[in-house]
């Protein structure tokens, strides 16, 4: 994926011209209403853009199009052109691009399809466009896209079926078709947008550029994205991390399962697919992940229209018990809390509501409530310092005042600095209430559970935003020692590293390893064992045997010289038998480490995000329960600490059933040092420290064994 | 909760009179349009019921109501009355009920509120109604409900805002308000119902009665329920298990989290709340659990309108890549499969579709597709024997023929014996297509993920229905021995049982236990150890010490008489010190059992469903990972086997990392025997076998330790 140049501060404003151009040319404008070239001009007119700005239809065969003077080429236009929209067949696009360049047009939207998405020749055509753009300094959106809309300019430079209503949400979509569906929902009055961009093939402008450009957009409260893949994972994290401090970013990532299922060899690899990388990256970047398009909108509406809740305590006001229970269930399940009211709140509610009503949360104003009870309950509850957000549920019963209640909810929401979400349930009668809520900025959800999930998303964003930007530690390490090992290994035509070579690497990066030395024969093994002190561990040493235990290549607790001698001979015999032709260097004699908790620290390179570091408990936990967690390096100490809290079996780290608390900081330290190692040496394709033996709190951790694989392209 | 009598075959048809009465009286009919008594008569008229059937408004102060002759009392009506609807203030309800009885009215709907839901006095009033009903043999729906609707009769005996369109779904709701919301959705044309019942307080007719009554309803393909609680859990399972073989039952159970969080003392208890009981019960009964009201409708629409898929292989036809990817992700995540087409299918698709289209699943007919490509792809794909269901996705692009495609989808669905679900995305333009699909019985979902979940629900139901009704094994056991232990324990004023008493119980029910005997002093312990054979285990024996390990009351691997002697003295000393005043019987000397896999088999009594049996792996797995599964006893061998497959760490049972496969059948046997024990003795409040030591396949399992608690009310 080629981007024209590094996005810089100056260029960020350069993207503004796509949304607030002073003039627009449509290359391929048409008088035929069935053509896209007509639809684009029509949208420029109907959106109101053409009223205040010059629009130049470019068509060599027409004088006027939709009452606008047409030109044979952009070069014939007298005035300056800020934005060109290209809707001509692909073979004419390069020439048109060049003319744009000659004319000094800074921004081009290429709607035309037939590029990268159409196979090899298409890709060549796309590269040509990029070359031309680079030559003339043009920024390009597309090709193969729907176009660009800004409802505040107003500008509709797309062939969409209409211009959506205004609203404080920006939406970018890699899929144009999904864009059409979203716009169709907006056109029915369900949604409003500030900016809408169909990114198409992303030959130049990508999600990263738009996030950067939209970070300070005064018309948007939330940035929404449908993402199939990002061009540069590390840059995406870096940019989104900053931007998400200013505005919530909500994204759907599609195509997660296929990639996730690719088989890779090591334990870490078998867990770490793209899905894990995206999950980790979004988390590190503060991006809210929506699992479906529906939740994308559910979350974004709440974030766009309502203030963030200061805490997680939700009050429910309802005219029916059933939905109140459903909401309560959902709140408890989501990890939010049912607000506990002050006594004054309860008393006030009791004094106003009928006896049969419930003043405790959920507040049940009863089925015969008209607007006044809702209004009173809303006012009262909103003043309670223990309430961080309010969910208003309405069912259309015989007496229910749907419109009056909707107005009361919206009135309160206008004044309140806490979020109010609504769940007016129904459609025929209830629609008129929902329309009022929607118009007045109170998001309505058809069922309580979805409103609760929106609250949870707001809460997640509040927490993510409150976290400081990460700072990355740098340890004093011996890069040279590692480089020497790699050179030696490469020199021997190998890519896999284990045992004492691995130990040198670990030591160079400050990880504690057990004392251990290579013995070439039984006599040497006995001598070393004597020096280290009994009991010892013996391990077969061979560059060709990766999974030593599988061939009986590890013996622990050897307590005497004869034990060592026997084990040495047996292992060498077995290794030769099970892996015929393997090079056997002898056996490694190793100190018996104190018993601790076995954990795994690993790394795999994700094609989009780079070094993906794993943490898991060893053995069954990682192999059977897949209880592992991931971060893209670099990550901060706080992020490493979070990893430890994310595994299901985390209680084992704190000590359970009489076992002592383990040295969590030593694990964090190992994760950070490995994070640095894999960044310092991009040639490390994968590695596993398994086990890292974690001792009791304050006692550290010992890297017992590591395998490391270098990428075959040195 | 009082039900009038046992529901029997004859009575089942007795409920029919609620839905197809030959005449209806409305007690409390009113001429005032703001009164419920008016709304009910109005609905009887507007629904068309009054056209063909006598409707008798009962009102002592009116001659005619809504053009119908009114009567001062049901006793004044000449003809027979099948159904009475009562909408008078609660204090007059008993008299009205008695008059219904005198008149011989078999069925009454009590809409009036102010009963059980209104506190103690209300409960008394409700009991009076039940007594009167019982005296006269009247079946009662309500009180405190919305009423009853049958769109086929047609009958609307409710105060709902209107009569919903016809459709093959029956809906029952404990919450009337939720009913109004659901009807309001139906009135907007989104849903259709056959029967709709608001159950209210369920003084008589409950979900169980309605399930039974609706099992053979020719107008319903799916039975839907919003449930807050069922009156008799065991009966619910028994009835739903049979009914779900005939029609899918889809239910939302609310109020799950509160009850689930109540704290109970034992390990099992801390996991087994009502939520687990409902989850197990629904599964055993073949009831599809919908987590939200939205999924209740999503699932039910698919089940009501489309045939069941013969398998799990789904074909996707789409005019856009993005939503196709989202659907693919959802299918993989849900456990369904992406259908792999035959070569002929691929060739046929390739020959018709443009080059840029994708013939492989998901079939992308491209953004410029009009109806013909959809039609061809539908026809072609539907004939492929590897396709079990079809998902049609449409986004509203420039050329898209929304209406034509909707018609083509519906045409195919009419002819096809596989399910077709649609995902026409959008609202403004797309609505006209959705309306056609809805009218013609192809459920449409706004986003692909929801359609996929509906497919999964259909697949779940197909699997549940295919399972034979369970048969329950009966083991030959020694009930008398158990009764004797219980009597002895009760006689001593105790309720907790452990150690050798527990061993007698386990043996009486055919579970293997380690050889073990009580020793009162060190000498006796040494003698017993000699007879059992070294090494042995020693455990403190005291009715006051439940968690022996916590006080150092268990020592394993004692290899000599002096070891035994030392351990005995130490334990007794410690027990007295840590639990002052505890009664100490001595120590139990026990054989060292072979090392196996430690699992837990337990039981807790759920207030609604009775004996809830747990299976979990022991230690960390149950305590830290909460990796447990549940069944309501009785359960079949197949159901016990399923339990073993439901835990996350199930691979450990089959042997991993070189460990051998374990004796799963021995666990199943233990589960079944414990299931029988807790049914035979309802006075067992809870029990835990922890650990049950499972040996290698074919070697059995040994119940090492059990604690059992009798209910305090003997």
Q: Following DSSP, what letter does each residue of A615-672 receive, concatenated?
A: EEESTHHHHTS--EEEEESS--HHHHHHHHHHSTTTHHHH--TTPPPB-HHHHHHHHH
The 10s digit of each residue's pLDDT in A475-487 is 999 999 999 999 9
Q: What's the pLDDT score for residue A713?
A: 63
Cβ distance of B292 and A447 shorter than 8 Å: yes
Contact list in B for residue A426 (CB cut-off 8 A) is: 180-185, 188
Mean pLDDT on B7-22 = 72
Q: How many other CB atoms sit within 10 Å of the CB of residue B645?
A: 11
Contact list in B for residue A228 (CB cut-off 8 A) is: 322, 325
Cβ distance of A429 and B184 shorter than 8 Å: yes
**Closest Cα partner for A623 from A653, A598, A594?**
A598
The 10s digit of each residue's pLDDT in A414-432 is 999 999 999 999 999 999 9
Q: Smallest Cβ distance to B320: which of A177, A252, A427?
A: A177
Q: How many other CB atoms sit within 10 Å of the CB of residue B199?
A: 28
The DSSP code for B254 is -
B621 falls in which pLDDT band (50, 70, 90)? Answer: confident
Distances (CA, A) of B244 to B240, B285, B299: 6, 7, 15
B84 plus B18 within the same structural domain: yes
Mean pLDDT on B438-465 = 96
Mean pLDDT on B494-507 = 89
CA distance B480 to chain A (A): 38
For the ranges A408-412, A538-542, A693-697, which has the lowest average pLDDT? Answer: A538-542
Nearest-CA residue of chain B relative to A332?
Answer: B257
State the Cα–Cα distance between residues B695 and B701, nearest whole angstrom. Answer: 6
A337 plus A462 within the same structural domain: yes
Mean pLDDT on B682-699 = 94
Residue B235 domain-assigned (yes or no): no
The 10s digit of each residue's pLDDT in A308-357 is 999 999 999 999 888 998 999 899 899 999 999 999 999 999 999 998 88
B92 plus B185 within the same structural domain: yes
Contacts of A419 (CB under 8 A, 6+ apart): A302, A306, A307, A308, A309, A389, A390, A455, A458
> How many separate domains does chain A show?
4
Q: Smallest Cβ distance to B395: which of A181, A257, A261?
A: A181
Instruction: Write phi, then psi, for B583 (nearest 5 degrees).
Output: -80, 125
Contact list in B for residue A648 (CB cut-off 8 A) is: 624-625
Contacts of A427 (CB under 8 A, 6+ apart): B184, B185, B187, B188, B190
Q: Smallest Cβ distance to A177: which of B173, B322, B430?
A: B322
Mean pLDDT on B582-591 = 90
**Element housing B168 (H / E):** strand B166-173
Nearest-CA residue of chain B relative to A115?
Answer: B356
Q: What's the pLDDT score for residue A260?
A: 31
Q: With a cut of 60, say whether residue B7 has pLDDT above it.
A: no
User: Alpha-carbon dihedral of residues B328, B331, B336, B341, nearest 10 degrees?
Assistant: -20
CATH number at A200 reads: 3.40.50.720
B21 plus B155 within the same structural domain: yes
Chain B interface test: which of A119, A120, A427, A627 (most B C-beta within 10 Å) = A427
State the Cα–Cα distance between residues B447 and A93, nearest whole angstrom. Answer: 35
CATH number at A629 reads: 3.30.470.20
The three-state (H, E, C) secondary structure of A400-418, written as one string: CCHHHHHHHHHHHHHHCCC
- φ/ψ bin of B230: left (φ > 0), alpha (ψ from -120 to 50), beta (otherwise): beta
Length of chain A: 714
Chain A interface test: which of B181, B257, B691 (most A C-beta within 10 Å) = B181
Q: What's the pLDDT score for residue A267?
A: 29
Mean pLDDT on A61-81 = 96
Cβ distance of B329 and A257 shorter than 8 Å: yes
Mean pLDDT on B364-383 = 94
Cβ distance of B395 and A180 shorter than 8 Å: yes
Exposure pattern of A38-66 as b/e (b: 16+ CB <10 Å)?
bbbbbbbbebebbeebbbbbbbeebeebb
Q: How many other CB atoms sit within 10 Å of the CB of residue A69?
A: 13
Length of chain B: 714
Q: How many other CB atoms sit within 10 Å of the CB of residue B135?
A: 11
Q: With a cut of 80, say whether residue B102 has pLDDT above it.
A: yes
A412 plus A327 within the same structural domain: yes
Beta bridge partners of residue B56, listed in sequence order: B25
On whether the CB atoms of residues A94 and A126 are closer than 8 A, the answer is no
State the Cα–Cα distance between residues B582 and A311, nearest whole angstrom. Answer: 48
CA distance B325 to chain A (A): 6
Cβ distance of B656 and A254 shorter than 8 Å: no
Contact list in B for residue A36 (CB cut-off 8 A) is: 398
A431 plus A447 within the same structural domain: yes
On whether the CB atoms of residues B675 and B712 are closer than 8 A, the answer is no
Q: Considering A591, A614, A637, which residue would you say is the last residue of a domain? A: A591
CATH number at B560 reads: 3.30.1490.20
State the Cα–Cα distance between residues B202 and A11, nearest whole angstrom. Answer: 69
B87 plus B35 within the same structural domain: yes
A345 plus A452 within the same structural domain: yes
Residue A503 domain-assigned (yes or no): no
Q: With a cut of 50, say whether residue A266 has pLDDT above it.
A: no
Residue B71 domain-assigned (yes or no): yes
Q: What's the pLDDT score for residue B101?
A: 97
The 10s digit of each residue's pLDDT in B638-660 is 999 999 999 988 988 998 767 88
Cβ distance of A325 and B254 shorter than 8 Å: yes
Cis check for the bond before B644: say yes or no (omega within 30 of 0). Answer: no
State the Cα–Cα distance between residues B419 and B381, nearest whole angstrom. Answer: 12
Contact list in A for residue B292 (CB cut-off 8 A) is: 326, 330, 447, 449-450
State the Cα–Cα distance between residues B688 and B678, nearest whole angstrom. Answer: 12
The 10s digit of each residue's pLDDT in B141-158 is 999 999 999 999 999 999
A44 plus A105 within the same structural domain: yes
CA distance A193 to chain B (A): 15
A543 plus A608 within the same structural domain: no
Residue A405 domain-assigned (yes or no): yes
ipTM of the predicted structure?
A: 0.86
State the Cα–Cα distance between residues A74 and A89, nearest whole angstrom. Answer: 17
Residue B217 structure tokens: 């309803």
Residue B200 structure tokens: 């209210």
Cβ distance of A326 and B261 shorter than 8 Å: no
CA distance A258 to chain B (A): 7
B259 falls in which pLDDT band (50, 70, 90)? Answer: very low
| SS3 state at B604 | strand
On whether the CB atoms of residues A602 and A690 are closer than 8 A, the answer is yes
Give the domain range for residue B168: 9-220
B583 plus B619 within the same structural domain: no
Identify each DSSP E strand in B534-578 by its residue range: 536-541, 554-558
Q: How many other CB atoms sit within 10 Å of the CB of residue B658?
A: 7
Q: Considering B568, B591, B614, which residue would you say is the last residue of a domain? A: B591
| Residue percentage of chain A with pLDDT more than 70 | 95
Distance of CA A525 to the CA centre of its chain: 51
Nearest-CA residue of chain A relative to B399?
Answer: A34
CA distance B261 to chain A (A): 10
Q: What's the pLDDT score for residue B486?
A: 96
Q: With a cut of 50, say whether residue A468 has pLDDT above it.
A: yes
- Burial level of B121, CB count in 10 A (0-12/13-18/19+)? exposed
Residue A185 structure tokens: 């929902």
For the ranges B479-483, B550-554, B668-672, which has the lowest average pLDDT? Answer: B550-554
Residue B673 domain-assigned (yes or no): yes
Exposure pattern of B496-525 as b/e (b: 16+ CB <10 Å)?
bbbbbbbbbbbbbbbbbbbebbbbeebebb
Residue B574 domain-assigned (yes or no): yes
Residue A1 domain-assigned (yes or no): no
Residue A580 domain-assigned (yes or no): yes
B607 plus B682 within the same structural domain: yes
Q: Considering A220, A253, A280, which residue would you say is the last residue of a domain? A: A220
Q: With a cut of 70, say whether residue A153 has pLDDT above it.
A: yes
């Amino acid at each position: 994926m080629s981007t024209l140049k590094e996005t810089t501060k100056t260029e960020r404003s350069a993207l503004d011209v796509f949304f607030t151009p002073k003039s627009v040319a449509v290359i391929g404008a048409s008088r035929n209403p069935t053509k896209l070239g007509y639809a684009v001009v029509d949208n420029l007119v109907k959106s109101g853009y053409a009223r205040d700005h010059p629009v130049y239809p470019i068509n060599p065969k027409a004088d006027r199009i939709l009452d606008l003077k047409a030109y044979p080429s952009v070069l014939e236009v007298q005035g300056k052109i800020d934005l060109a929209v290209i809707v001509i067949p692909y073979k004419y696009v390069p020439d048109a691009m060049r003319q744009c360049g000659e004319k000094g047009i800074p921004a081009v939207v290429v709607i035309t399809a037939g590029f990268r998405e159409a196979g090899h020749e298409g890709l060549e055509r796309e590269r040509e466009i990029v070359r031309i753009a680079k030559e003339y300094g043009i920024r390009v959106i597309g090709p193969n896209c729907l176009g660009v809309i800004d409802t505040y300019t107003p500008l509709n430079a797309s062939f969409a079926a209409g211009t959506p209503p205004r609203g404080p949400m920006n939406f970018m979509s890699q899929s144009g078709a999904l864009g059409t569906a979203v716009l169709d929902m907006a056109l029915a009055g369900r949604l409003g947008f500030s900016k809408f961009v169909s990114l198409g093939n992303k030959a130049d402008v990508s999600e990263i550029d738009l996030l950067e450009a939209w970070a300070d957009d005064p018309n948007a409260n939330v940035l929404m994205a449908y993402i199939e893949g990002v061009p540069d994972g590390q840059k995406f994290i870096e940019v989104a991390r900053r931007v998400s401090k200013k505005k919530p970013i909500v994204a759907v990532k599609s195509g997660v399962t296929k990639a996730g299922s690719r088989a890779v060899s090591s334990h870490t690899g078998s867990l770490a697919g793209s899905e894990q990388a995206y999950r980790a990256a979004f988390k590190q970047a503060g991006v809210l992940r929506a699992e479906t398009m529906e939740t994308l909108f559910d979350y974004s509406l709440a974030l766009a229209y309502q203030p963030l809740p200061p805490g997680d305590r939700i009050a429910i006001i309802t005219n029916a018990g059933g939905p109140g229970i459903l909401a309560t269930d959902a709140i408890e399940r989501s990890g939010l809390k049912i607000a506990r009211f002050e006594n004054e709140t309860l008393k006030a509610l009791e004094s106003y509501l009928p006896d049969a009503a419930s003043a405790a949360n959920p507040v049940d104003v009863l089925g015969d409530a008209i607007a006044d009870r809702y209004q009173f309950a809303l006012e009262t509850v909103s003043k309670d310092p223990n309430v961080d957000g309010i969910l208003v549920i309405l069912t259309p019963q015989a007496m229910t005042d749907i419109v009056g209640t909707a107005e009361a909810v919206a009135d309160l929401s206008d004044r309140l600095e806490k979020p109010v979400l609504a769940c007016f349930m129904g459609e025929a009668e209830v629609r008129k209430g929902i329309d009022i809520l929607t118009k007045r900025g109170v998001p309505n959800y058809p069922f309580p559970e979805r409103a609760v999930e929106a609250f949870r998303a707001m809460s997640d964003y509040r927490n993510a935003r409150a976290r400081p930007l990460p700072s990355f530690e740098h340890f004093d390490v011996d890069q040279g020692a590692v480089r020497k090992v790699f050179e030696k290994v490469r020199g021997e035509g190998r890519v896999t590293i284990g045992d004492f070579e691995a130990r040198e690497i670990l030591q160079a990066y400050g990880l504690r390893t057990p004392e251990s030395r290579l013995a070439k024969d039984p006599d040497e093994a006995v001598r070393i064992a004597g020096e280290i002190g009994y009991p010892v561990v013996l391990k077969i040493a061979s560059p060709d045997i990766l999974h030593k235990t599988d061939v009986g290549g590890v013996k622990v607790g050897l307590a005497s010289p004869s034990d060592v001698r026997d084990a040495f001979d047996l292992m060498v015999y077995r290794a030769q038998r099970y892996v015929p032709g393997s090079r056997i260097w002898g056996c490694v004699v190793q100190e018996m480490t104190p018993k601790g908790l076995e954990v795994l620290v690993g790394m795999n390179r994700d094609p989009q995000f780079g070094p993906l570091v794993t943490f898991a408990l060893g053995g069954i936990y990682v192999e059977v329960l897949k209880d592992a967690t991931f971060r893209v390096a670099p990550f901060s100490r706080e992020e490493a600490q979070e990893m430890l809290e994310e595994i299901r079996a985390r209680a084992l780290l704190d000590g359970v059933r009489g076992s002592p608390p383990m040295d969590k900081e030593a694990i964090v330290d190992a994760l950070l040092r490995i994070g640095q190692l894999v960044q310092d040496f991009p040639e490390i394709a994968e590695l596993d420290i398994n086990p890292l033996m974690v001792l009791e709190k304050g006692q550290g951790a010992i890297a017992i064994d590591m395998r490391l694989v270098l990428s075959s392209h040195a």
